[in-house]
Amino acid sequence: MKQLYAGKTKDVFELENGNYLLKFKDDVTGEDGIFDPGANTVGLSIEGAGKAGLKLTQLFFEKLKEKGIPTHYISADVENTTMTVVPATVFGEGLEVICRYRAVGSFLRRYGKYADEAQALNGFVEVTLKDDERQDPPISKDGLAMLGILTNEEYETLKELTREISQVVKDELAKKAIELYDIKLEFGRDANNQILLIDEISGGNMRAYKNGEYIEPLALEKMMLNN
């Protein structure tokens, strides 16, 4: 089994049959020892973080599979903290697609002149480039097309998938009286050029609130996984 990539929170291996194996780690992103899902550096290691992230990812990916939404997910092995996935290549050097239901975080930092904190945003979708050095800049549909990262048609597919997937997550959270404020997703193309949801969907991908109080990623995972 060949290691292809060592990521901040996951390692990627290639299996004999060509599929990929993702190994979830206990390392979480943050700064100065404080867990921050939006940070670009590994801040600390929390025992059980990898397993909790995988279990929540499994829950959401199984739900998406039921609905026929294309993802890279094949199966999860919770004991070994691994997930088997279809190989996919990212767009450009990686994009994040964000779906927003309420104005918080970078949306509010950019558009605070026109939006109040926590104002409803009705599933607004935006794309940012994965670029630590340049603080993940937002980019428009025209910009993505011009730079050869996404065609206009692919952009529309991505936007539609993002809205569908985010709604599935939102509905799952709502079952526990938790409200999804925003979520970031990653997409790639498989060998047939089909667009798939890739990476994971765990606490670190989203901002969730209960009774107006922000829920930390690990607490969210506990709440979602306790039946």
- Burial letters 131-150, b for 16+ CB under 10 A, else e: eeeeebeebebeebeeeebb
Q: What is the C-alpha separation between 169 and 112, in angstroms, rounded?
A: 26
Q: Which of 54, 95, 121, 161 binds a second copy (CB under 8 A)?
A: 121
Q: φ, ψ for residue 158 (rounded to 5)?
A: -60, -45
Contact 180, 105 (CB under 8 A): no
Site mask for a second copy (CB under 8 A), range 74-113, x = bound: ------------------xx---------------xxxxx
Task: Return all residues near 128 (Cβ < 8 A) that are at least 6 apart.
Answer: 95, 96, 98, 136, 137, 138, 139
- φ/ψ of residue 151, rounded to 5: -75, 165
Pick 57 or 128: Cβ nearer a second copy: 128
124-143 residues in contact with a second copy (CB under 8 A) are: 124-126, 129, 131, 133-134, 137-143
**SS3 assignment, position 131:** coil
Q: Does 116 participate in binding a second copy (rule CB under 8 A)? A: no
Residue 32 within binding range of a second copy, rule CB under 8 A = no
Residue 151 lies near a second copy (rule: CB under 8 A):
no
- How far apart CA 199 and CA 183 sit, in angstroms, is 13
Query: With respect to a second copy, which residue has the nearer C-beta, 69 or 115?
Result: 115
Q: Which is nearer to a second copy, 125 or 196 (CB)?
A: 125
| Minimum distance, C-beta of residue 96 to a second copy, in the bound complex (Å) | 14
Beta-ladder partners of 90: 188
Q: Among 147, 174, 219, 225, which residue interacts with a second copy (rule: CB under 8 A)?
A: 147
Binding site for a second copy (CB under 8 A): 92-93, 109-115, 121-122, 124-126, 129, 131, 133-134, 137-143, 146-149
